[in-house]
Chains A and B, each alone.
Chain A
Amino acid sequence: MLAVTSAPRIASNKRTVVDARRQQFAKTRHAPEEYPHRLNFYLVPPAGDIALEQFEEWAIARLKVLGELESCQFRNKTPAETDEHMKPVLDKYMRLSSNASRSGEVQDERKRDHYSHWTLRLAFSSTPDLRQRFARLETQLLKLRMASDDARERRAFIDSLSMSWETLSEEEKITWLDQLKAATNLKRDEEESWFKVAWEKVPELVERRQCLLKRGVAYVHVREQQTMVINEFSRQLETGLELAARNLPRMDEDNRLSPILHHLSQSFVAPDAGYSESSSIGDITTPTAAAIDGLSQHFPLCMQNLHRELRKNSHLKHFGRLQYTLFLKGIGLSLQECILFWRKSFKLIADDKFKSDYLYNIRHAYGDVGGDSNRRGRGYTPYSCQKLLTEPAPSAGQTHGCPYRTYNPDNLLSLLQSVGVSDRTLLQGVKEDVGKQRYHIACNRVFDYAHKAQIKKVKDEGLWSASELDLVLHPNAYFKRSFLLKNLGKVKAGDLGVDGAFGVSSGGAGEKMEE
């Protein structure tokens, strides 16, 4: 299975597992694949011949689409905005016409869609991280496409799937009608039609109390079918990816595919706001515990806030400590200096208590202690904006997370004012962004404002390329860029060049290594 024979084609088929021997000696049959539906669950891998170029080309096109989709997510776009953004992208790279369109391209388009999915599935099965991202994005893509599908064709597609649901009988309907209506919040104009599944199949409906539960059976309104289909897809894709991962090392191929697959998976990693070692300023200067106060002017609001809280209370709670420690590690503070920093900052705490309660966690974050994998991976990776924006909100007394998200707008504005951001139009903009949940657009807005002059300078003089000034997606990237901009004169532009010029070593310091 997943075997790629000498010909440039993917002959990976689940069914080969069952009678591998027979398959091995059988003549390869390539019945041209038929795609009756616009949408595809990608259950059966493709078995036809394609050229190596197509193999790569199609995959890159799909990758482009997935990348755009992910950036929509990072920018916290609403579904409607995402839809709008993705429409031209999809049309350009991965058009899929409906049956009704009568386009001659229909089958080719669907074939491309099918093959590219399976190519990327191979490319992204190698690590749990990639698998998870791939599954998430593919699921979103399906959701997007399903929403744009013609209603009749969508129904035909859903009916073609074999899902284990049972429609409610009239009798049951009459018995439970009131409860059914109340539980599923039925609108007046909706049809009175429900179906039954085991509640485990629809956890998200249970979670939001949007279905009726009776002895472990969920009574779900038909309108939820789409969501269920999508969940089922996501579930099957995840298992499929894991299966692919297990068989990847045994892939039978002649060294033409693996470079392509490797390259594909690499380019998927890049757009993520992962931490890169180049965000440390270790090359320029060695930060010390004593220097943090001075450097804190370059910190993004999330870290500045932690710093201020720390100075105010001489203490931070666990998650705040963790977030801040990792950030400090990310800017290049050594373990020794970091311990020194915390020791001095927790000035109300006795040495003994500090040693027993806090020291271990700092060392653990740096990978100085702990299990083997922790040490080898040199501790945890500094948190990205995405991580800070998706983790559970802090409860009372905790100060970690992204203030743009966790503070209510009024408190946020007074916090911003207290760190010296007072421009009225800017604050208004921040308020709007936050209202639309575009937290890190707000953060970038503040950054751009605070570094207006310097950004203009590097732009006008052409010192930095546009890509070096795109959205900040990582607190450490924020810091680094701020530090460089504010020190433009001190560090010669020639040595600087921002990212890259510092000899980015492969595999960031904090990246956890896969085992």
Chain B
Amino acid sequence: MLWLLFFLVTAIHAELCQPGAENAFKVRLSIRTALGDKAYAWDTNEEYLFKAMVAFSMRKVPNREATEISHVLLCNVTQRVSFWFVVTDPSKNHTLPAVEVQLAIRMNRNRINNAFSLNDQTLEFLKIPSTLAPPTDPSVPIWIIIFGVIFCIVIVAITLLILSGIRQRRRKNKEPSEVDDAEDKCENMITIENGIPCDPLDMKGGHINDAFMTEDERLTPL
């Protein structure tokens, strides 16, 4: 009698959890892709943890606080590491509606991922879309900050260039009058060497050396 009951229960279980069954979900794990050398092997203990996480997620749903680990059924585990699971109600005759399971998994996706050191791409629940992380926008976009820095530097440089240009032009306007003063001073200056005043080099004109006779004067005209 007990054997019959056992076979009945497993048969019902087998019916409840089948690939493509009503309210069943396929899960796919890519452990080696995610962890590389640190990949762990998928065995019954990991399956137990998975069942525990699903049961934990279901308990968070109102009216389903009594979900136990034994209510979660796994089947068709492949070498890919993919399998199907269903969640049954306490009577173990019916499966819980897919909508509730979906909601529960979506709300606790992060916790489930962390339990297995995986992420949304390596622990896939087919037919349960994951909520994407919101874009991490800082309050002030980075590009504005750098733009501000560059623009300020450029404006400061332009101002400096314009100011130095104005100063240069003012200096050039003052220079002609300064140059005249210097020339007057030069004329009044007498170089003194060894106490004897030297004649200043006269830049403007030349002295005529009367002792030098030009070519044509030497030769008497015919």
Chains A and B come from one and the same complex: no
